[in-house]
Structure formats: structure tokens, C-alpha cells
Amino acid sequence: MDAKHLGDDLTVVLHTEEELRVRLAELAREIERDYPAEPPLLVGVLKGAVMVMADLARELNFHAQMDWMAVSSYGASTKSSGVVKILKDLDADITGRDVLIVEDIIDSGLTLAWLKENLESRGAKSVRICTMLRKPEALKVDVDVAYVGFDIPVEFVVGYGLDYAENYRNLRDVAILAPHVYSGS
């Protein structure tokens, strides 16, 4: 779906499909360089990371095994509750493995700080994070992020996997959601 189909639901397109594609290819080259011996297990965080995972995994020139977790701290709100719940756990045993968490966005950092620590505590050899978007001015905790697509302003964004109340995930670009869509929630 293109932004033009969404009428006045969006205010600004922050990153187009093409910009996302080009940046993801750059990140893939960095990741290939950083794992010369053994490819990491890619761990996608449902549901937002589906698009990043699909594009990154296909861009990488090595065997990319994928696994998925679902954690939630937002529910149907635009604010993090700060409480992270595992809704679906990994299928793989990650003991002794290099793990690369693949995410769509880091906002407060609460989800990823918690997840990184959780995966490290399972005995992974290493745990790194790759995120398409990050809001540096919204961070409430320090999160060490190895690969960042774009830093963005503190606005609620949708598209490229990011939703509001489960809508807009299939928008090709990343755009700022007009406040009238969520005001009152």
C-alpha cells in the first residue's frame, strides 16, 4: 500500500520504500563483515519486524536461519507500558550461538534492553541488535545497538511493519501518523 491511499491519516513520509531498501543493503554488508566465520541466528520480534526480517534476510549473502519471538509492551496504545511480556518464545536453543535481534523500532528502549538481557541469560555467545528505526531522544534506558537504519524524531510512526491498532503495517514507506487518528486513545 502506498501513502497516497491513506489520505489524511499521515502527516509526513519520513523514509520511502527505496530509502529503506538502500539503507538495509548497507547494513547487510556491515553484518556480513562482522560475522565472517559463522552466520548469526536472526531473531525477529513479531509482529513489527516482519518486513525488516524478510528484506534483511534476503539481502544477506550467507545462510540466514530465522527464529521469532513475540513480546509486547504497547498493546493497542501509542505509549509503552514498560512491562514486557513474552507472548511467543524462541523455538531454537541459543546456547553458545551468535544471535542478531532484528527489530523495526527502538523507542523508549525498554523492550530491547529487556530482550537483550533475556537472551544473554540463556547462554548465547553474543547478542547484537539491528533495528531499522530508532528515536534517540525517546530513550529511557541505555541500549547497545550495533546496526541502526535511521534515527528519527519523537513522533508516532507507522508503515514497514509498524502499526497503530494493527493497521498500517502494510504501508511501504515509514510515515508519521496524524494525531487525529489516535487522539483519545
Ligand X SMILES: O=P(O)(O)OC[C@H]1O[C@H](OP(=O)(O)OP(=O)(O)O)[C@H](O)[C@@H]1O
Ligand Y SMILES: Nc1nc2[nH]cnc2c(=O)[nH]1
Active-site amino acid positions: 107
Which is nearer to ligand X, 32 or 72 (by Cβ)? 72
* Rounded least distance, CB 114 to ligand X, Å: 8
Site for ligand X in 43-102 (CB under 6 A): 45-48, 72-74, 80
Candidate list 20, 51, 111, 159; residue touching ligand X; CB under 6 A = 111
Q: Is 182 in the site for ligand Y (CB under 6 A)?
A: no
Q: Is 164 in the site for ligand Y (CB under 6 A)?
A: yes
The secondary structure of the chain as a DSSP string is --GGGGGGGEEEEEE-HHHHHHHHHHHHHHHHHH-SSSPPEEEEEETTTHHHHHHHHHH-SS---EEEEEEES-TTSSS--S--EEEE--SS--TT-EEEEEEEEESSSHHHHHHHHHHHTTT-SEEEEEEEEE-GGG-SS----SEEEEE--SS-EEBTTB-BTTBSTT-SSEEEEPHHHHTT-
Q: How far is the CB of 103 from ligand Y (least distance, A)?
A: 10
Q: Does 157 bind ligand Y (CB under 6 A)?
A: yes
Contact flag: residue 173 with ligand Y (CB under 6 A): no
Range in contact with ligand Y (rule: CB under 6 A) among 81-89, 118-126, 141-149, 151-159: 151-159
Residue from 51, 104, 124, 159 touching ligand X (CB under 6 A): that is: 104
Instruction: Return the ∠ at Cα 86 (arms to 84 and 87), rounded to 5°.
Output: 120
Q: Does residue number 114 form part of the binding site for ligand Y (CB under 6 A)?
A: no
Which one of ligand X, ligand Y, none interacts with residue 55, CB within 5 to 8 A by kind? Answer: none
Over its C-alpha atoms, the chain yields an Rg (Å, rounded) of: 16
Least CB distance to ligand X at residue 175 (A): 16
